[in-house]
């Protein structure tokens, strides 16, 4: 029970072809920085995959802010009551404590004025949050997802975005996971069912106003 130890691996660069025809457009996009808290990052070893993923996330955040693209974060609260934590407690134990060493978002990715931090309750960022409402109020119907873990919350968020008629873009080399195999599975599943995997350079092109050509 709890988070596993994670071995290093190289971030993916060869992405599956998506079924969806969607292209990321700056005027429609919002950026989601998913669960980049110390508690979730600490199982990773030094180096890849986390360090290059963090560097890519930082580039995406900077580009989104410069372009006027809304930046959202998810972050869990520590010391959750069992009824609030629900079935997650059966798989992952009690989770993080209400201490900065667990709850803090990595300083190099810290929210700035104007960014929106959503309290995370379940795998999907949409669950028990007003993410969709906040996006619609800003005229946004595309969601670019980066963060951890690729095959859990990032995938669940992309899947729920699709079910809410929001086009999802998974930035593969700005996510990290338990293993290369789970990371690849997440990208394949998203490509086949609910979204478009892309690389950071493609995401940056979209945020700069160019039409991103994916996979």
Whole-number pLDDT of residue 1? 66
Sheet with 116-119, strands from edge to edge, namely 116-119, 71-75, 29-34, 142-148, 167-176, 195-198
Specify the pTM: 0.96
Whole-number pLDDT of residue 3? 94
Spatial neighbors of 133 by CB under 8 A, at least 6 apart, are: none
Residue 196 exposure: Cα atoms within 13 Å on the Cβ side = 22
DSSP one-letter string for 115-159: -EEEEP-SSSTTTTS-HHHHHHHTT--EEEEEEE-IIIIIHHHHH
Give the separation between CA 94 and CA 144, rounded to whole angstroms.
29
Buried b or exposed e, range 85-118, using 16+ CB within 10 angstroms: beebbeeeeebbeeeeebbebbeebeeeeebbeb
Whole-number pLDDT of residue 47? 98
- The pLDDT tens digits for 119-166 are 999 999 999 999 999 999 999 999 999 999 999 999 999 999 999 999
**Mean per-residue pLDDT pooled into runs of 10, the chain (215 residues):** 92 97 98 98 98 98 98 94 90 93 97 98 97 98 98 98 98 98 98 98 95 58
Residue 214, domain member (yes or no): no
Whole-number pLDDT of residue 214? 60
DSSP 33: E
Residue 13, domain member (yes or no): no
Q: Which 3 state secondary structure label does DSSP give 186?
A: helix
Query: Which strand (E) or helix (H) includes residue 176?
Result: strand 167-176
Domain count, the chain: 1
Residue 197, domain member (yes or no): yes
**What is the CATH number for 114?**
3.40.50.850
Residue 111, domain member (yes or no): yes
Residue 57, domain member (yes or no): yes
Residue 131, domain member (yes or no): yes
**Catalytically active residues, by annotation:** 35
Residue 15, domain member (yes or no): no
Whole-number pLDDT of residue 79? 87
Structural domain containing residue 98 = 26-207
Give the separation between CA 1 and CA 200, rounded to whole angstroms.
33
Residue 42, domain member (yes or no): yes
Give the separation between CA 91 and CA 42, rounded to whole angstroms.
18
Residue 79 exposure: Cα atoms within 13 Å on the Cβ side = 5
């Amino acid at each position: 029970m709890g988070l596993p130890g994670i071995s290093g691996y190289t971030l993916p660069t060869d992405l599956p072809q998506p079924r969806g025809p969607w292209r990321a457009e700056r005027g429609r996009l919002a950026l989601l920085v998913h669960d980049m808290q110390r508690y979730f990052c600490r199982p990773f070893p030094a180096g890849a995959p986390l360090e290059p993923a963090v560097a890519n996330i930082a580039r995406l955040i900077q580009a989104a802010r410069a372009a006027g693209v809304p930046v959202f974060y998810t972050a869990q609260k520590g010391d959750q009551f069992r009824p609030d934590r629900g079935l997650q407690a059966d798989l992952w134990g009690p989770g993080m404590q209400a201490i900065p060493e667990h709850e803090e978002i990595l300083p190099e990715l810290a929210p700035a004025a104007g960014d929106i931090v959503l309290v995370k309750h379940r795998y999907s960022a949409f669950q028990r949050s007003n993410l969709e409402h906040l996006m619609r109020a800003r005229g946004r119907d595309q969601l670019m997802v980066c963060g951890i873990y690729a095959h859990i919350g990032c995938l669940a968020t992309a899947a729920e975005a699709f079910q809410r008629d929001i086009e999802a873009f998974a930035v593969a080399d700005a996510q990290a996971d338990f293993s290369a195999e789970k990371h690849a599975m997440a990208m394949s599943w998203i490509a086949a069912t609910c979204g478009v995997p892309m690389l950071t350079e493609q995401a940056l092109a979209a945020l700069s106003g160019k039409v991103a050509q994916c996979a």
